[in-house]
Chains A and B, each alone.
Chain A
Amino acid sequence: MNEDEDLELQALQRRLDDAFQTTRPRTGFEDELWSKMQARRPVWSRVSEFFSGLIGSIREAPAVPAAAVAVVLVVALGIGIIARSGIHVGGGPSSSSSEFTSTSLGASRNAGSFGRLPLPAAVSVPPKTANPPYDAAAPSSAGSYAGLVNLAWAGQLPVNLANAPVYRYTEPSAADADQFAASIGASGRSGSYAGSGFVLGVSGTIPALAREPSYTLTPDRSTLPPPGPTPVDTADAFLAAHSLVPAWPYTVTTANAADVVRVLYLRQFDLPGGGRAYLVDRTGEPYGIEVDLRNGQPLQALGPMPLYLDVAVYPIISGDQAVRAALGTSPNRSAPNVPTVRLTNVELAYALAIAGDHSFYEPVFVFSGTFTQNGVAYLKRVIVPAVGP
């Protein structure tokens, strides 16, 4: 083999490496498949499998992978496929936090009645190693990376709330899943159900994905009624037809990916004094029910399984403490490859904290700021627990 041929083959090998390393399933496939796998197993077996590992996570690192837990999240603005638009207040039908809440806020001043709380999976943690290059071994995907940044605070301190409710649910049993399926006209067992013109999957809490018990409802598209005038109208009608209109407060937004329109019902929790806080995932992004539409017709709905929530009120940290906690997640020293980000916004939100047979929706502070690196604008979020240690 001559030298040119050798170089040519080496170049081909590099291209193959790149091709295999960058060929990945579409966004959402990982979650969908994991949900399907979980749905094929009885709920109680999942609980028992995870219980022993999770119980040790109380106030320690949660039992989800480090990369998923606490990495500093940086999302590229304008790069993602999803383009969010048109947020408006849809207004949940209930003004209380949930019709499934078993104790009203006013009657539940027993601060700390759930005992010591686990950390939400979304919480950012300080780096364990000192200043590695921000892109070193950082798992990245289109539009985001999990690298380190230095942080500075340049915003208004959050409005101080002395207390905030914490919500708790009990991991549903197989019978609970069956009962939920029956309530929307489906029958089956072990998380897999079918109704008239649709199939339903129900999964329990998925620690690896930091997701609460959820359902996926997939309709037989040949039996769907004509689409409504707007995607939101169609999604509203679809959820109503299957008794899945959320009982909790929400706002509605839409997103587009190729020819799929996603209607999102972003879940909120009531706060003392009349405000509301979004439920956020481990990236700090609000979430709730998602209804995907193609050609104006529903493809699938994914949402949290309705659950009874207990509530207890906990004291929350001050704005100053929250800022210190947020800044404490950065390496706190300068390095040439570590960008500095000025955090300019903070919001109170809720995040899921998983702990075996009981899991919690806990208040968190979501700090955010933007910065530019190599000509690309990024949004950075830092999530810190709002309940004190």
Chain B
Amino acid sequence: MLADRPPFEDLYRDFLGRIYAYVRAQVTSAADAEDITAQVFMNAYQAYGRFEARNTTPAAWLFRIARNATLDHFRAHGRRERLRRTIEHQPVSEHDPAGMAEERIQYRALLAHVARLPERQRDAISLRHSGLSFEEVGVLMSCTEDAAKMLYHRALKALRESAREEMA
């Protein structure tokens, strides 16, 4: 193993929670978030031999895989259902009461609002609050650091409006 590459177990422990939270903010269902998170780490595990720490940070590398896996999930399951939920503002049914019990109820509504943002705004919020720098967010979203900042602040305002509308 290369000296500049940490053991995969370290990445797994350090990033499992963050990747799960990122995915969870995208898909609104704990079961889907688990499936996608599992896929992310399965893929990362297989690809870790090709990971070059000189070219990217482990965080950016893992979040790229997570972002692709989430997009694949949407492609596989169709956006129609997701859009329908978005329009109707229906919470996705939960099949895992144990999981529900363990989640912080007070933040679920906020993440549900994040999940209803337009795709790029949702991504900017989720990546940024998963601990990535604006530079890393920009790289992942194929834009400059400044563009990532602007996108993030637009997303933040949109999120505030979304929350206000629901309160009203």
A interface residues (Cβ-Cβ under 8 A, vs B): 8-9, 12-13, 15-27, 29-30, 33-34, 36-37, 40, 53, 65, 68, 81, 142, 207-208, 257-260
Answer yes or no: B148 CB below 8 A from chain A CBs: no
Instruction: Please list the residues of chain B having a beta carbon within 8 angstroms of any beta carbon in chain A.
Output: 7, 9-10, 12-13, 16-18, 20-22, 24-25, 30, 33-34, 37-38, 41-42, 45, 96-104, 107, 110-111, 114, 125-126, 129-130, 156-157, 159-160, 163
Contact among A19, A27, A40 for B102, CB-based, below 8 A: A27
Q: Which residues of B contact A18 (CB under 8 A)?
A: 107
Does the CB pair A208–B30 fall under 8 Å?
A: no
Which of A9, A17, A19, A65 has the most CB atoms of chain B within a 10 A radius of its CB? Answer: A19
* Residue from A22, A24, A257 within 8 A of B98 (CB atoms): A257
Question: By CB atoms of chain A within 10 A, which of B20, B96, B126 has the most?
Answer: B20
Q: How far is the CA of A24 from the CA of B129 in the complex (A)?
A: 14
- 6 pairs, A vs B, C-beta closer than 8 Å: A8-B160, A20-B21, A26-B30, A33-B38, A36-B38, A142-B102
Alpha-carbon separation in the docked complex, A260 to B95 (Å): 12
In the bound complex, CA of A29 to CA of B40 (Å)? 14
> Do B21 and A26 have beta carbons less than 8 Å apart?
no
Contact call B34/A15, Cβ cutoff below 8 A? no
Q: Tell me whether B21 and A30 are in contact (CB under 8 A).
A: no
> Across the interface, do B101 and A81 meet the contact criterion of CB distance under 8 Å?
yes
State which of A8, A16, A25, A68 has its C-beta within 8 Å of the C-beta of B16: A25
B52 to chain A, nearest CB (A): 19
Contacts of B18 in A (CB 8 A): 20
By the criterion CB–CB under 8 Å, are A33 and B21 in contact? no
The complex places the Cα of A25 from the Cα of B126 at a distance, in Å, of 16
Q: In the complex, what residue of chain A is closest to B1 when comparing beta carbons?
A: A49
Residues B103 and A23 in contact, CB atoms below 8 Å apart: yes
Partner of B129, one of A16, A29, A33, A208: A16
CA of A20 to CA of B131, assembled, Å: 9
Known: A19-B111, A65-B10, A208-B13. A9 touches B156 (CB 8 A): yes
Determine how close the nearest CB of chain B comes to the CB of A385; give it in whole angstroms: 24
Which one of B7, B13, B34, B159 lies within 8 Å of A12 (CB-CB)? Answer: B159
B9 / chain A contacts, CB cutoff of 8 Å: 65, 207-208
Having A23-B107, A25-B99, A26-B99, one finds 12 other A-B pairs with CB under 8 Å, namely: A8-B160, A16-B125, A16-B129, A16-B159, A18-B107, A19-B107, A19-B110, A23-B20, A25-B33, A26-B96, A26-B102, A33-B37
Q: How far is the CB of B11 from chain A (nearest CB, A)?
A: 11
Which 4 A-B pairs have CB atoms at the shortest separation, nearest pair first? A19-B107, A258-B97, A23-B21, A208-B9
Among B7, B17, B111, B160, residue most surrounded by chain A Cβ atoms (within 10 Å) = B17
- Candidate in A33, A142, A207 with the most chain B CB atoms within 10 angstroms: A33
A258 lies within 8 A of B98 (CB)? yes
Residue of B16, B98, B99, B125 contacting most chain A CB atoms (<10 Å)? B98
* Residue ID in chain A nearest B10 by CB atoms: A65
Known contacts A9-B156, A9-B157, A26-B30; A258 and B101 CB within 8 A of each other:
yes
A22–B110 Cα gap in the complex (Å)? 12
